[in-house]
């Protein structure tokens, strides 16, 4: 095929791609069908996305799962009595094997209690209200990370009351069995915790900007106790 502009012979396939051509009847039908189906497809996708964004309803627990929940409550109540001297909360390992000795119930000797499962049921909204109430009554720790953070805040409050500031030395550890401090903060390495908090903010421009403009929940807790974010804490590796 000869190009009328420059007189150069062009390849038929290249000419077919770049030269305008009228659509045939089959192509016209296809185009009309796509135009008709496009809105329907978009509507279907929107409905699918909307349905996917909805939080699924919790699936009711079966009898075996409910029995495990009851066993967990029994174990948690015993653990509360054992931990009362050193903690105001009730904490269990992720997988706890019930000892074959008093004061543990004989019917649970050697049984593995899975704390992670109970927390998952609670998070999914599947845990029966009666079980939630029983565990709340013994101050069960639902969120371990939140619990550890709240201990740091509680210790910082006491430290400020005692010393008038939050510039905690790196080597400072909360005294053991000191009634001036909450039980759950005993032996907490508060100086190291403060070092981590300071480093998290002082080495991040984003965190500094966030602190100045819109502090997150944890930063807000620190601001409420006048935490000194500008302090240059001496770092003692030997501590």
Q: 100-121 pLDDT, tens per residue? A: 999 999 999 999 999 999 999 9
Identify the residue with better confidence: 12 or 206: 206
Q: What is the mean pLDDT of residues 215-229?
A: 97
The count of C-alpha atoms lying within 13 angstroms of the C-alpha of 215, restricted to the half-sphere facing its C-beta, is 12
Q: What is the mean pLDDT of residues 41-69?
A: 70
Sign of CA dihedral 89, 90, 93, 99: positive
Which among 174, 208, 210, 178 is positioned nearest to 191, based on CA atoms?
A: 174
User: In whole angstroms, how far apart are CA 68 and each of 31, 32, 108, 197?
Assistant: 60, 60, 11, 39
Assess whether pLDDT exceeds 80 at residue 10. Answer: no
- Token pair 């996305």: residue: 49
H helices present in 124-216, as ranges: 129-137, 144-163, 190-202, 205-213
pLDDT at 98: 98
Q: What pTM was estimated for this model as a whole? A: 0.73
Read off the pLDDT band of 47 (50, 70, 90).
low
DSSP state of 114: E
Peptide bond into 225 cis (omega under 30): no
CA-CA distance, 102 to 39, in Å (whole number)?
69
Assess whether pLDDT exceeds 90 at residue 214. Answer: yes
Read off the pLDDT band of 18 (50, 70, 90).
very low
Assess whether pLDDT exceeds 70 at residue 50. Answer: no
CA-CA distance, 142 to 35, in Å (whole number)?
53
Mean pLDDT over the full length of the chain: 85
- Assess contact for 98 and 108: CB atoms under 8 A: yes
Residue 75 burial by Cβ neighbours in a 10 Å radius (0-12, 13-18, 19+): buried
Lowest mean pLDDT among 24-38, 67-81, 164-178: 24-38
In the chain, % of residues over pLDDT 70: 74
Query: What is the chain's Cα-based Rg?
Result: 32
CA-CA distance, 129 to 137, in Å (whole number)?
12
């Amino acid at each position: 095929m000869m190009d009328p502009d420059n007189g150069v012979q062009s390849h038929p396939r290249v000419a077919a791609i770049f030269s305008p051509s009228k659509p045939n009847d089959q192509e016209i039908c296809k185009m009309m069908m796509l135009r008709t189906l496009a809105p329907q497809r978009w509507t279907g996708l929107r409905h699918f996305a909307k349905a996917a964004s909805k939080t699924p309803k919790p699936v009711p627990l079966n009898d075996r799962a409910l029995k495990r929940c009851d066993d967990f409550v029994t174990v948690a109540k015993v653990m509360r009595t054992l931990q009362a001297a050193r903690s105001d909360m009730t904490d269990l390992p992720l997988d706890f094997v019930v000892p074959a000795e008093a004061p543990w119930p004989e019917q649970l000797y050697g049984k593995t209690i899975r704390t992670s499962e109970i927390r998952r049921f609670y998070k999914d909204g599947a845990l029966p209200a009666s079980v939630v109430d029983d565990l709340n009554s013994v101050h069960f720790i639902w969120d371990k990370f939140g619990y550890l953070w709240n201990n740091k805040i509680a210790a910082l409050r006491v430290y400020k009351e005692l010393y008038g500031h939050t510039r905690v030395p790196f080597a400072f550890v909360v005294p053991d069995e000191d009634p001036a401090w909450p039980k759950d903060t005993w032996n907490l390495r508060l100086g190291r915790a403060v070092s981590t908090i300071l480093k998290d903010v002082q080495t991040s421009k984003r965190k500094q900007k966030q602190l100045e403009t819109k502090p997150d929940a944890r930063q807000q807790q620190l601001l409420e106790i006048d935490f000194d974010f500008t302090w240059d804490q001496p770092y003692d590796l030997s501590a």
